[in-house]
Amino acid sequence: MIHDRRQSDIDAEPLLGGLTHSQERARHIATLIDSPETLEIAIEQVKRAWGLKDRFYRQFLPQGASGFA
């Protein structure tokens, strides 16, 4: 199965050829970020999504293991 990896930066999706779902979503996101406030909201969500993954995988480590903060 092809999972939806990040193949390009936001707003750098190819003009030709098919887009992955995440690229398609990135195009929409690029149109909605037009101010420092919207940028901050986007970064906040990315941070939150990352934090959940970090916590999930940390449960399998001995307590106190350090990582990305």
- Does the footprint of another protein cover residue 39 (CB under 8 A)? yes
Task: Specify whether the CB–CB gap between 8 and 16 falls below 8 A.
Answer: no
Among residues 8, 42, 13, 46, which one has the least CA distance to residue 27?
13
Among 16, 17, 18, 67, binds another protein (CB under 8 A): 67
CB of 15 to another protein, least distance (A): 17
Are 47 and 69 spatial neighbours (Cβ–Cβ below 8 Å)? no
Q: Which residues bind another protein (CB under 8 A)?
A: 1, 3-6, 9-12, 21-22, 24-26, 28-30, 32-34, 36-39, 41-50, 52-61, 65-68
